[in-house]
Every structure is written in structure tokens, then in C-alpha cells.
Structure 1
Amino acid sequence: MKVLKFGGTSVGSVKSILCLKRIVEKEAKRQPIVVVVSALGGITDKLLATAQMALSGDELYKKEFDAMVTRHHQMIDTIITDPKKRENLFFSVDVLFDQLKSIYYGVYLIHDLSDKTRNAIVSYGERLSSHIVATLVKNAKLFDAREFIQTEHKNKKNVLDSELTSGLVRKAFEELPRISVVPGFISRDEHTGETTNLGRGGSDYTAAIIAAALNAEVLEIWTDVDGFMTADPRVIRTAYTINELSYKEAMELCNFGAKVIYPPTIYPVCIKNIPIKVKNTFNPNGPGTVIKDKIVNDRKVIKGISSISGTTLITVTGLSMVGVIGVNRRIFTALAVNGISVFLVSQASSENSTSIAVKDSDADEAVNVLNDEFAKEIETGAMFPMHAESGLATIAIVGENMKHTPGIAGKLFGTLGRSGISVIACAQGASETNISFVIDGMYLRKSLNVIHDSFFLSEYNVLNLFICGVGTVGNKLIEQIKLQYEELKLNRRLKLNVVGIASSTHAIFNRDGIDLDNYHEQLKNSKESDTSNLRKEVIGMNIFNSVFVDCTASKDVSALYQEFLEHNISVIAANKIAASSDYGSYIRLKKTALSKGVKFRFETNVGAGLPIIGTINDLCNSGDKILKIEAVLSGTLNFIFNELSASVPFSEAVKRAKEQGYSEPDPRIDLSGTDVIRKLVILTREAGYKTEINDVEKHLFIPEQFFNGTLEEFWRNLPQLDADFEERRKNLEAFGKRWRFVAKMEMGHTSVSLQEVEKGHPFYNLEGSNNIVMLTTERYKEYPMLIQGYGAGASVTAAGVFANIMSIANI
């Protein structure tokens, strides 16, 4: 035989209760079954709320009562087609409603709502629904759970008398009907005969008690989800159904907030080794979750994550606690006597403090109870008054295989730390099935997502990107991400989730991801935005595994890096300003990234997609010392000097560089050497030398006056230089030499200048807008290292930024 329990959502609507009918009648063809039902969805809350209204003398309780009657009547009218059955059911239901109406009226008249009366009122939900189900399902027999589910009053609670109840259940079902219907949740006090209940979720418990007493083949819990999920799907969209759980794992998940089944449900069936199946009433063909003793070939280290929001941490502390036996006994006894549940305990090895986690709703009473218990010690100063910290959340990661896998706790806390999440208290039992910890409640969503992602409970590793700048580089980057998106998901299990895109005037944000097919249209229709709003949105989203990608040349945007890094947001910059600004700011950015466990990457600041900075880092990190750097770092200037010929004067070469997108919109930025100087400063710093922009010796090739005035004046005056450049070019050609604008660093001394290079020099045959860097180090002294390639252009720069993103994803 089987026991099937149907929750409130499974009987709460016409659609769901008809699904119940199909499931039950199909199962009954195979074997006898016991069906345990909850009240119609939401009715239990409505019963209690209406009682409170009656207690306060609010006559609107009558309206609420009538609404409950109407809801049940409408359901009966819709689902019971046989006139005689419908008439009999209406009679039975109305008798119950008449009783309930009288009880409410009594509460209203005498303004008293005792526990006895409240228990009686709340029992009507299941009593009503069980009558409806017993009539709806063919050949079903209705039982009254109060005849065999017996409780006794202990510690202010109704506690099941297991031995008595088991015997009564076996007696009640001695002759087992094909289909038995039992109201869940409700019970009776064995001494007084009063109606009691098994607490919220008690219908699950009723089903488990019956299953254990009757040695059922299986206990099926039918609800509105497909089973236990790896995490709350409302918080983690990538959460999925767990196929199998052990009893221990299920118990741990239930105790820490997973609302799939009521925690006490597991014990009665566990000791009888009866499996539990969690199934979806609306998806009966789904596999659901099976809970059993042993799981074969179980390789998952972590099975699921659960959490409790609304946590208060109370710390009991004092020097008198050290070495004193019985302090913890007093703590827990005092709380237990007052009906306060503690769900996490953390104690220092010095024994001078014990921290306990309780629900926020119990916090004030718990503090008062403990202050009273230790009043004498507090008065003498041997102990301090209780310290309570609210607004917290408790998270548990659960999995029996954790005990066979070293380093789980280290990985857990390292992952949280890199995301800027501090652990306030933690607890881990010797069984290692559950690691629980307390955090600031504002980081709950972020914590759940980063843990789910880190422990591969998610189908994909997710990187959340904020992209600032939608010019040539930004657009190319987004295009490359879009093209690689499916490939990375398929072969790397990596999901690049673009959650923010900002231009200089507008911005859009969506933590679930932005549609990259029409982001231009979304940006155009969005509200205006500035750097202040950008900072607020990026930090305020508080999203895990987040990366800010700067594809602008904005000083204001680069000024945001420090705060982003402090909030554990990695930064990737195509923008050169931050890495070449004052040395103190540069070092602070690097140190902040290191201390926070996030990344500050700016490989494309020099050489676009060429691996120049990374190579210098690798050399220095391996113990080599950079002695000299010689480089052609401006693709724009190299293009200009390669274009020069008898038929292409200097002014025309500059114009071509702008037209083909190699130069800045204002070419004077390139011609002044500013861009090259910034790049040289960055390389010198990465090589381990302290330098500032003003330390670089500048030997420019254009008179200073050409950099003054408007851009129009510059273009008008530029041809004045053509004759001089042509004469110098002819002389250069006669000697078989070429011009290269060279950046140089030697033992920390830096300079930029236009140099003449001969045939055979590594820089001589440098084509187009290519860059080249020659590194002389202690290891590469006789034969310097050369890095050469395409060093300009939106596509290669975007590819370099993409490579930086991938390097973070690989961590």
C-alpha cells in the first residue's frame, strides 16, 4: 500500500483537485492507498485571520467567513456532478460551517481566543477539504484523523504520542479500503479529548505517521513543485530538481528553510526505511525527488543550499564562562522552557562566548529570558548583558559527500570572501553533512548565487558583466560576446550574462541579462544616466561574480574603479587613464584588487590584443628583472610614417590615419605622443619601477604651436609641415633608414622620441599600424624578447578585452 499526501495547492483550485482525482484513481487500480489532504490553499491563514478579527470585535469577520463558505460552495458546485452526492456534501459541509460560525460568534462576544479555541477553528480547513475529496474520488472512505492521531501537552506544545498513535492507526486501518481519505494536520489530546494539531506542515507529518504505522511501500508528497531544488528558484534561476536525496540530506535542507516537506515528516518513515517521493500534482509524469537511506553512485559533493532570512544572532559572553561547567545547559534550558527554538550554535574554543541563532520573532523574548537567567552574573560584571544582532540570514550547504571531500569549508569561505561577503558565525557538525553560517541579510541573494555557481550546482558558471562604452570597441566587444555566447555555454559551461550597458548619456540594467540583439534600441529608450547613476546601479545591484568593463576613454568613469574594487567588483579597462594616473592611485587600485580577491585587468592599455603586460607580469613574477623596454607603441604613428612617400605628404598620411580609424578623432592626441607616454608609464610600472607621466622625457616631431587653437585650425595649418617632412624623408630614404616613434625605458628612466632605424633593426620592417616591444631582462639580455603584432583597431582591442574577461572566468 501507499500513502499519498496532497498539499493546499493540490486541493486549492478546480484544476488542481481534478488532477488529484486522476492521480488517486489511477494509483488505486494498482494497490490500496491512503490519501492525506491539507486545507484548501490559503484557508488555514484565512481561518486564523478571521479569528483575530472576531477577537478584536471587528464585524468584518462575518464577511471573511462568508467568503470562505462561498469558496467551498463554488468548488463543490463545479467539481461534483452527481446531484445526490452534491446535495449530501453540501449538507456535511454546511454542518461544519454552522459549527465554525458559532465558534467565531463566541470569540466575537467574549473577546477571548484561547489555544483550545484557536486549535478548534483551524481544524476546520482539513475537515472541510477531506469531505470534498472523499466525495469527489470514486469509492473513497473518509476517516477522522482525530480518532487515531493522539497528542499530549509538553513544553507549551502539542507533542505526538508515537506509541499510542501507531497502535490506533493500525487498528483503524485493520481492514484497509481501496481508497482512504484522511484530513491531515489535525489531532486530539489523549487526556482531554480536545482537538489539537501537529503544527504548520502537519499534514505531511500525518501522512508519515500513517505510512510508518502501516509499513507502506512508499510515502508520496504531492505539491506544486517538481521536488527538492538545489536552491530557491525564485532567487537562483539556474536551480534545478535534485533526483535523489538521503534522509539526512533532506532533513538538513528542510530544517534550513526548504519548504518542500515538513521536517518531522522524515523521522517516522526513515526508521522504517520507507522512501519518500516528492511529486508535482501539475506534472505527475515528472520524476520528482526520491528520499531514501542509501544513494548509489552519488558523486555530488553538495546537494543543495537552503537558507533562513530573519535571523537574529544572540551572543552570551563573559569571562566567568571560561571553564565553568553548565553554562550552556542553563542557556538552552532557559530557552527551551520558554518555547524558543535555537537553530545554530557557535562557540569560541576559549569558552568565553557562545552565539546562538534564533528567528527575529523570538529575539526580544530570548534576550529577556537569558538576561533573567544570568541576572546575578550580569549584576556582578562576571557576564555581559546579551548582545543581539538582527537583520541577518543563515545559509546551509548540505551534502553527505562533504565528509569525504577535503577543503569544502575552505572553498566555501574563500568564495564568499572574494565576493565581499563576511561570515559572522558558522557551525559544522562532525558528520560534515551540513555547514551553516550567518551573514548580513542584505547579501543573502548574492551569497546563494555565488555558492550555487561555485559548487557547480548551477548548470553554468556565470559571469555578470557591466559594459560601459558603446563606441567602436564596446560595440565590437558586445558583438563578439553575442557570437561566442552559445559556444561558451556548450563547451565551457560558461554563461556571460551582460547585466548592464552604459553609453555616455544612457544606461540599461537587468540582473537577468540584457537582450544583445536590440540593446541599442533599449539604450535609446532608456532614462538619461551619468557616472553617479552608473556607480549607484552597479554597486546597488549587489550581484555575484560581477565584472565592470570600461571601453571608454573617460576620466570620470576611471574614477569609479576604486569603489567598484572595494565592493568586490572586478574591473577590466581598455581605458588607459587609471593605470597611468598618479602612481599612488595606481598602486591603491592594485592593492585593493589583491586584498579583495578580485581582478584589475588592463592588458589592452598597451598593444590592443598583444600579450605585452601579461608577459611582463609573468617575467617579473618568475623572478626576472626588466632592464630595458624599447617599443613602438602607437599604431597610429607607425601607420603615418609607413604611409609617407613621394606621393603621400605628411598631412595626407595623418588624414588617412583618421579616415581609416587608426587615430583619435583629434589626431593631435596621437601626434603629441600623449598616448605613447601613457603606455610607456604603464609598462614601466608593471616592470616594477615607480614613474609618473611628468617623468617621461618628450622629444616631439611637430612644433608646439600646432597643438594650440581649434581642430579646424590644426587641419588648415598642417600642410605647412609637408615640405620639411618630404625633404627629411628623402634624406632618410637615401641612407636606407626609416622613422619610428620609439618609447624607451632603461632602469626606470623613460623617454619618447622620433628615431631613425637602419635595416636589420627589429623595428625597421614594422608594417602598417603594428606594434612591437623589445624586452631586455636579466635572463633575456643577449637576445632580447620581441612581441610584435597588430596593435590598433577596435576588433583586436575588443578581442583583448574579451580575453581579459575569459581570464577572470577561468579563476
Structure 2
Amino acid sequence: MIVLKFGGTSVANAQNIQKVIAIINQKATNHPLAVVVSALSGVTDMLINASKKAATKDESYQNNLEEIKQKHFDAIAELIDPSHQNQLLIRINSQINQLQTLLDGCFLLGELSPRTADAIAGFGELLSSQIIASALQQSLPNSTFKDSRELIKTNANFGKASVDFNTTNKRIGDYFSGIKSQVVVLPGFIASSENGNTTTLGRGGSDYTAAIIANGCNASSLEIWTDVNGMFTANPRIVKQAQPIETISYQEAMELSHFGAKVLYPPTIQPVLKANIPIWIKNTFEPEAFGTLISNQSETNINPIKGISHIDNIALLTLEGSGMVGVAGSSKRLFEVLSQHAINVIFITQASSEHSICIGILNADADKAKEAIDKTFELEIAQNKIDPCIVEKDLCIVALVGENMKNHQGLSGKMFSTLGKNNVNIRAIAQGASERNISVVINEKDVKKALNTLHERFFEDNTKQLNLFVMGVGNVGEKFIDQIHQQKKFLKENLKINVQVIALSNSRKMVFDEEGISLKDWKVLLEQGETANVNAFISKTKDLNLRNSIFVDITANYDVAAIYDQFLKQSIAVVTCNKIACSSQYENYKNLKSLSRKYNAPFLFETNVGAGLPIIDTLKHLIASGDKVNRINAVLSGSLNFIFNNFSDSYSFHDVVKEAGVQGFTEPDPKIDLSGVDVARKILILIRESGYTMEMEDIENRSFLPKECMDTTNNEDFFASLLKHANHFNALLAEARAKDSRLKFVASFDNGKASVGLQFIAKESPFYNLEGKDNIVEFYTDRYVDQPLIIKGAGAGAAVTASGIFADVIRIGNV
């Protein structure tokens, strides 16, 4: 004998029921079957809703009743041949009339007793099972219907009755030992008391019914047919990368189902556990899929974690005070009062000092529990020996589950550090002596991030998903997105980094997609997005609360640079080529670095100096290794180097500056480069990264621009002023030739003083042959005294800047 159970989605409508019948017919060719079915999808909720409406004198319960009736009559019309419908319609109509009588009684009395509630709620399974049994008989005549209430006997605890297994097992055994039918269809969820009143086995009780039947008839296996391919490593609706679990022990399955794995009702396992009856979780809509096998067979698996599960809507109650220390019976009194008020305790943890005890219960029970606890301990509270019960709501329990966890060291540490890196605050921790699960209580808003982060850590071959929020998609931004698109597959296969662009914004539009923006047509999607707004961008990023989030600033905007702290405080990493933040007031720079350390959120700005050159990274390693920077000489503006390398008698200064802008070497406002402000910012950042305190105004800026050029307020006027003062620039070029030197805009730091300005560079200087848009930096340190450490290469351009930003993103992925 094999017992099959089909859930609500499997019997949602006539089309699905036909799939169920096909599975039953295929199975029945080899084995006798007991088939337990749930109510048609949504019917149980309709029944409960109708009963509550009737009890509150809401006449619209009649509408619910009519909808229930029509749903079943429609199923009959689609499933049963018209010539065989009559008797079934009479039976179903009679039972719906009984249902109406019960609802009318609730309406007249204005109340709903537990006994009546059970009677009403059980009609869903009773009706569906008879329809399915009749439909099955058309293709399998040797099948029959049996009312589960005649087999399963319970106490009179209406709502969630306890089964009398001695009586029940005998009834089931006697029935199936004498039955000649190949298939028996039974309603799930319902049973009956000794007095014959309908009782129910709790929501999800159809699984339990199937397990009770399997135990009673000593079935060879129990198959739970649902709408997913078995139990998963995590909830696939929340964790897209969740995988089906092929084999799992009874104990592991029990833990996962207790902690919210809704594919299996927790009490289901108990009846079949002692009888050692294996349970299969199968998919009605993919019957050939392997599913999940639950048995007592232990499996040797490299990964000790079998799954990650969670329970929502948890409240944490804390009872603490010196009056609990060394006082016997405090815990007993606490749990006793909760039991008396029928409050289920889901989670327990107690400090070894006995000073406090924390319990997790459902949010809905929190206020009732606090009132009851405070009343029980009112004397101790009045004497200030114990504090009033503290209640924290809107929490969630997340649990790692695995039979072999006890044989592996460091799992707790990995769990806690993984959550901590993503700013998931742990409110309480519990781990049983069996070490079969590690449970933590966290804020409910963090559950999606927590589940995805933990699943990534324990199940995805250490593949880390980076979620990027990109602001600024001009020349550099466009190259950056192209590079991500090009390298996405390589990063995933070789570096185990999965880069997803979640948000894009320019000055006009912004677009968000939690599943990742398609990089093939991102321009179209951005153009169709909503109006750009910095505050809305911040808010949406925080609300999504995704793991491994990185804010990428590819602008030169003051307002954007001012919001980094808001991301860092949320443990969102910041990667930027915008020099404004790190060259702002020293206290702001210092604060951003401090926030980065405090919230474990990387703050990377390699492209602030030298575009894609590893200047800042090299400097960090020097300082970290104990070296000290004493002097810096550098050509830090690729745009100015390009300009002065190409400025000639035949190529005017105005035209060269224009060309530098076209090629993306200058800032959108070229005056920032030519005024020396950009170079001053860069040398200031290097000075600060070297460990020195300095402000922008401390740097001497020897500008080569005439005052009229400096005083312009827009690009048009600026370029006009360059034409007007062409003789000034030509004179600089002539003087350089006369001195047999070249013009370079040099930044220097020595003996605590810094300056930037145009210099005439002699042939013997390493700066003389600096071509194109190249940068060069000389670091003189305690270790590099006579010969400096030199870094040289392309220091401007959209592609190299984008690659520097990309490199910072990859650095975060490798952390």
C-alpha cells in the first residue's frame, strides 16, 4: 500500500485534478493506493471567512457560500460525464445545504463555537474528495470513497484535535485489510470525536491525515504531492538560487518544517517515524522530477547544512532581573503561565548568569503574554527584583539545519560573520545540544537579505552576488556597464562573483529592478524609468535591503558626494571616482573612513587618483606594512598632460582643450582640470592616505590661467576666454622651448607642505617623457629613499576610469 496526498494547488481546479488523476492511474497499476486530498484551492479560507461573517451578523456570508457552491459545481461540470453527474450533484447539494444550516445558525445566534467552526471548516475536504473520487471512477472503476471521520478518532479539542492512535490505528488496519478497491480516496484535515462530532487536525492537517493513514495501514511509503520539486535548501520564493534537497533525514525534515518550510506540515513526520515509512515530496506538475526522499537513512555529504528556514511574525519576550539569579522555579513559573494561556513557545535562550531569559512567540500572542507574565511576577516587579516583561515585535527566526552540523567546527562563526558583514543584527541565539540547528532572531525587514546571504555562503559554491546601485551613466558610466556585461560570465565562472546591476540613475531618470537590470537594453529601460531624485534613490536602495549592496558613484556631483554616509551606515559599500568627498573637509573624510570600519562597509576610491592606475592601493599597502611617506612628486592630471603634450604652434591651446573634452579626459567643466583644483584634490587625497592631516586650502595652487578665464561661469565663456588669451598660452609654450624643457602640471608634497602648478621639466627628469594622457607618481618613503617608488601609466579616459571602478567592485567581491 502506498499513501498519496494531494495539496490545495494540486486540486485547485479541474485542469489540475486531471493531472492528479493521471498520476493516480499510473501509480495504481503497480500498487493499491490510499489517496488523501485537500480542499479545492482557497475553499478553506472562504469557509472560515463565511463563518466569521455569519457570527458577526454580516449577511455577505451568503455570497461566500454561493461562491463555494459554484466552485464545486463548476468542477463537477468539467470533470464528470453528464450521464453520471446526477447522484453526485444530489450528494454535494445536500452537504452544501447542511453547510448553509450551520452558517445560518451562526448568523441567528451571533456566535461561532469551536465545535461549529470545525464542522464548517471541514466541508472543503469533504466536498473535494467526493468529486475527485467520482472523477477517478470514470477511468478507474475499482476505486472508492471513504470518509476519514470514520477512521480517525480524536479528542474534542476543536481546532487542533489530538488523535487517539490506538483506536485510529485499529480502525484503519481493519478497514484496509478488508478493502477490495485498488484506490481509496479520503478527505484530509477532518476527523471525528468519540461523540461523532467533526474535528480538524490544524491547518495543513491533510499531510497529517495522510501520515496517520500510512501508519495505520503500514504503508510502504507516503507521497506528499505539491507544487514544488521537493523540500528546498531555502524558500525558493525568497531565495532564487535555492535547490531541491534529494535526501534528508526525518529529524532534519522535522526541523525545517518547524522553522517554516511550508511544503510539509510539521506533525506529519511523527506517525511515520517510528514505523520507518519513507516520505516522498513530489511535484504534481513535474511528476518525473526526483523530489525529496525523507527517511532514516543517513547520508554522507560534504555540506553539513541541509537547509535554511525561517519563521516570520515573531515577538521576543525578555524577563530579567537580579531576583531571578539563583531562585529556583522562575523558569517553571514563566512557562507555566504561558501554557495556561495556550501560548506556544517557539524559541528559548537563557543567559548562564540566570539574570535573564528570552523566549520567542508569535506576534499575535505578545500582548497577551506580557500581561500574563507581568501579573505572575507582579510581586517581584513591585519589589524591583524583576523588570516588567520587555516585548520586541516584528522579528523573525532564521535557522540553519543539518544532521551533520555537530561534526563540523566553526559553522556558528560563519553564520554570525556572514550576517554581520551585511548589517543583519542578531537579537538572540539558540543552539540545541544535538547541534541539529542553529537559530537566530533578527529583524523581520532583514529576512530576505539574511536568507540569501546565508544560502550564498553555504550552498552556492561560495559564489557571491554583488548588487550594484549605479549613479551616473555618462561616458565613464556607459563604459563601466559595458565592462560588467562583457565580463559577467567570466567573473561568475572564475572568481565566483555574480554582479547584478539593481539600479541606474542619471540626472533625469532612474530605474530599479530587484532581479537585476538587463544590460542589453539598459538605456531603453533607464529612459522609461521614473524621474531621478537623490533622496528617492537612497530610500529605494535602503528599502530593498539587499545583501552585498554597493553604491557606485560615477558623477562629479557635490550633492551625490554628500550622501555616502547614509549608505555606509546601512553597511552598503561605496565605490566612487568622484573626488569631492575625499577632498572635502578633513573631518568629513575621516568620518567616512570611520563609518566604513564601524559598519564593515568598504569605501573604495582608487579612481580618485590616476583613473585605473593602482596608486591608492599601492599606497595603502605601503602604510599598512609600516612604511612612511615623506615626499610625493606627481603628474596627476591625464587631461592636462594630454593638453600640454599636444599643444603646439599648429594646434592651439583652445583646440587641444576642446579635443580633451571630446575624448573624455577632462571633467564636464574643464576649468576644474585647468584651474589645478582637480590636481589639488588628488594630491590632497594621497597626502591624507599617507597619514597626514591637511585641508584643501593648505595646498598652494599656482594657476597658469589668466584671471578672466578663472572668473567665467560657464563653458561657453570659458572657451571664449581661452581664445582671447591665446598669446598668454603661446608665451608659455615658447618659454618652455627656450629652456629646452616641456610643460607639465606637477603636484608636490614635501616636509608637510603641498603645492600644484605648471613647471618647466628638464630632459633629465622622469616626467619629461611622460606621453599622451599618462600619469606618474613618485613616492619617497623610509624604505624608498634614494630611488622613489614610481607608478606610471594612463591616468585619464573613460575606459581606464571605468576599469578602475570595476576593479574596486571586484575587490569587494573578493573580501
Give the TM-score category using the shorter length: over 0.9
Once residues 656 and 125 of structure 2 are traced to their aligned partners in structure 1, the CA distance between those partners, rounded to angstroms, is 87
Counterpart AA for 2:72: H
2:475 and 2:664 in contact (8 A); partners too:
no
Counterpart AA for 1:62: Q
Residue of structure 2 equivalent to 1:642: 645
Residue 494 of structure 1: CA displacement? 2.5
Deviations along 1:385-410, whole A, 9 cap, x unmatched? Answer: 22222122222222223322322222
Residue of structure 2 equivalent to 1:808: 812
Q: What secondary structure does 2:360 align onto?
A: strand
Residue of structure 2 aligned with 1:199, choices 179, 184, 202: 202
1:143 and 1:180 in contact (8 A); partners too:
yes
Once residues 653 and 7 of structure 2 are traced to their aligned partners in structure 1, the CA distance between those partners, rounded to angstroms, is 82
Residue of structure 1 aligned with 2:695, choices 689, 692, 695: 692
Residue of structure 2 equivalent to 1:263: 266
Residue of structure 1 equivalent to 2:63: 63
Residue of structure 1 aligned with 2:734, choices 727, 730, 734: 727
1:72–1:201 Cα change, 3 Å: same
2:419 aligned with 1:416, yes or no? yes
Residue 649 of structure 1: CA displacement? 5.2
Per mean C-alpha deviation after superposition, the further-off stretch among 351-360 and 99-108 is 99-108
1:459–1:180 Cα change, 3 Å: farther
Residue 551 of structure 1: CA displacement? 0.6
2:530 aligned with 1:527, yes or no? yes
Residue 431 of structure 1: CA displacement? 1.9
Residue of structure 1 equivalent to 2:576: 573
2:126 aligned with 1:122, yes or no? no
1:533–1:791 Cα change, 3 Å: same
Residue of structure 1 aligned with 2:758, choices 751, 754, 758: 754
1:46–1:760 Cα change, 3 Å: same
1:390–1:730 Cα change, 3 Å: closer
2:405 and 2:411 in contact (8 A); partners too:
yes
Once residues 21 and 12 of structure 2 are traced to their aligned partners in structure 1, the CA distance between those partners, rounded to angstroms, is 13
Once residues 459 and 291 of structure 2 are traced to their aligned partners in structure 1, the CA distance between those partners, rounded to angstroms, is 21
1:433–1:245 Cα change, 3 Å: same
2:131 aligned with 1:132, yes or no? yes
Residue of structure 2 equivalent to 1:38: 38
2:155 and 2:161 in contact (8 A); partners too:
yes
Per mean C-alpha deviation after superposition, the further-off stretch among 452-461 and 203-212 is 452-461
2:160 and 2:201 in contact (8 A); partners too:
no
Once residues 60 and 703 of structure 2 are traced to their aligned partners in structure 1, the CA distance between those partners, rounded to angstroms, is 87
Q: What secondary structure does 1:160 align onto?
A: coil
Q: TM-score, normalised by structure 1?
A: 0.95
- Can you give the 5+ residue segments of structure 2 that lack an aligned partner in the other structure? none
1:649 and 1:726 in contact (8 A); partners too:
no
Residue of structure 2 equivalent to 1:96: 95
2:767 aligned with 1:767, yes or no? no
1:655–1:128 Cα change, 3 Å: closer
1:279 and 1:287 in contact (8 A); partners too:
yes
Residue of structure 2 equivalent to 1:110: 109
Residue of structure 1 equivalent to 2:676: 673
Residue of structure 2 aligned with 1:433, choices 436, 440, 445: 436
Residue of structure 1 equivalent to 2:284: 281
Residue of structure 1 equivalent to 2:797: 793
Counterpart AA for 1:69: K
Once residues 164 and 614 of structure 2 are traced to their aligned partners in structure 1, the CA distance between those partners, rounded to angstroms, is 73
Residue of structure 1 equivalent to 2:399: 396
Deviations along 1:716-754, whole A, 9 cap, x unmatched? Answer: 323122442243133222xxx333322112243212233
Once residues 42 and 801 of structure 2 are traced to their aligned partners in structure 1, the CA distance between those partners, rounded to angstroms, is 57
Residue of structure 1 equivalent to 2:722: 715
Residue of structure 2 equivalent to 1:602: 605
Once residues 743 and 459 of structure 1 are traced to their aligned partners in structure 2, the CA distance between those partners, rounded to angstroms, is 43
Residue 155 of structure 1: CA displacement? 11
Residue 650 of structure 1: CA displacement? 4.5
Residue 603 of structure 1: CA displacement? 0.1
Once residues 531 and 100 of structure 1 are traced to their aligned partners in structure 2, the CA distance between those partners, rounded to angstroms, is 57
Counterpart AA for 1:211: A
Q: What secondary structure does 1:779 align onto?
A: coil
2:791 aligned with 1:784, yes or no? no
Per mean C-alpha deviation after superposition, the further-off stretch among 719-728 and 547-556 is 719-728
2:447 aligned with 1:444, yes or no? yes
Once residues 691 and 233 of structure 1 are traced to their aligned partners in structure 2, the CA distance between those partners, rounded to angstroms, is 52
Counterpart AA for 1:617: K
Once residues 635 and 692 of structure 1 are traced to their aligned partners in structure 2, the CA distance between those partners, rounded to angstroms, is 23
Q: What secondary structure does 2:530 align onto?
A: coil
Once residues 42 and 646 of structure 1 are traced to their aligned partners in structure 2, the CA distance between those partners, rounded to angstroms, is 83
Once residues 808 and 700 of structure 1 are traced to their aligned partners in structure 2, the CA distance between those partners, rounded to angstroms, is 38
Residue of structure 2 equivalent to 1:18: 18
Residue of structure 2 equivalent to 1:376: 379
Residue 646 of structure 1: CA displacement? 5.1
1:528–1:11 Cα change, 3 Å: closer
Once residues 385 and 204 of structure 2 are traced to their aligned partners in structure 1, the CA distance between those partners, rounded to angstroms, is 43
Residue 488 of structure 1: CA displacement? 2.4
2:151 aligned with 1:152, yes or no? no
Counterpart AA for 1:334: V
Residue of structure 1 aligned with 2:236, choices 228, 233, 238: 233
Counterpart AA for 2:747: A
Deviations along 1:69-122, whole A, 9 cap, x unmatched? Answer: 222122112111161x32222232233223323323333333342222222222
Per mean C-alpha deviation after superposition, the further-off stretch among 524-533 and 70-79 is 524-533
Residue 761 of structure 1: CA displacement? 2.8
Counterpart AA for 1:63: N
Counterpart AA for 2:297: K
1:309–1:53 Cα change, 3 Å: same
Once residues 104 and 213 of structure 1 are traced to their aligned partners in structure 2, the CA distance between those partners, rounded to angstroms, is 34
Deviations along 1:456-492, whole A, 9 cap, x unmatched? Answer: 3489521111111111111111111111123323333
Residue of structure 1 aligned with 2:355, choices 334, 352, 356: 352
Count of aligned pairs: 806
Once residues 726 and 627 of structure 1 are traced to their aligned partners in structure 2, the CA distance between those partners, rounded to angstroms, is 32
Counterpart AA for 2:122: S
Residue 668 of structure 1: CA displacement? 3.0
1:238 and 1:458 in contact (8 A); partners too:
no
Per mean C-alpha deviation after superposition, the further-off stretch among 716-725 and 655-664 is 655-664
Once residues 67 and 658 of structure 1 are traced to their aligned partners in structure 2, the CA distance between those partners, rounded to angstroms, is 69
- Can you give the 5+ residue segments of structure 1 that lack an aligned partner in the other structure? none
2:160 and 2:202 in contact (8 A); partners too:
no
1:511–1:89 Cα change, 3 Å: same
1:538–1:197 Cα change, 3 Å: closer
Counterpart AA for 2:752: G
1:784–1:166 Cα change, 3 Å: same
Once residues 194 and 688 of structure 1 are traced to their aligned partners in structure 2, the CA distance between those partners, rounded to angstroms, is 81
Once residues 414 and 287 of structure 2 are traced to their aligned partners in structure 1, the CA distance between those partners, rounded to angstroms, is 38
Counterpart AA for 2:609: V
1:122–1:773 Cα change, 3 Å: same
2:708 and 2:721 in contact (8 A); partners too:
no
Residue 140 of structure 1: CA displacement? 1.0
Counterpart AA for 2:10: S
2:33 and 2:183 in contact (8 A); partners too:
yes
Q: What secondary structure does 1:174 align onto?
A: helix
1:665–1:332 Cα change, 3 Å: closer
Residue 451 of structure 1: CA displacement? 2.3
Residue 647 of structure 1: CA displacement? 4.2
Residue of structure 1 equivalent to 2:169: 166
Once residues 533 and 131 of structure 2 are traced to their aligned partners in structure 1, the CA distance between those partners, rounded to angstroms, is 61
Per mean C-alpha deviation after superposition, the further-off stretch among 342-351 and 412-421 is 412-421
1:672 and 1:700 in contact (8 A); partners too:
yes
Residue 255 of structure 1: CA displacement? 0.9
1:4 and 1:35 in contact (8 A); partners too:
yes
Residue of structure 1 equivalent to 2:324: 321
1:239 and 1:458 in contact (8 A); partners too:
no
* Percent of pairs with identical residues: 43
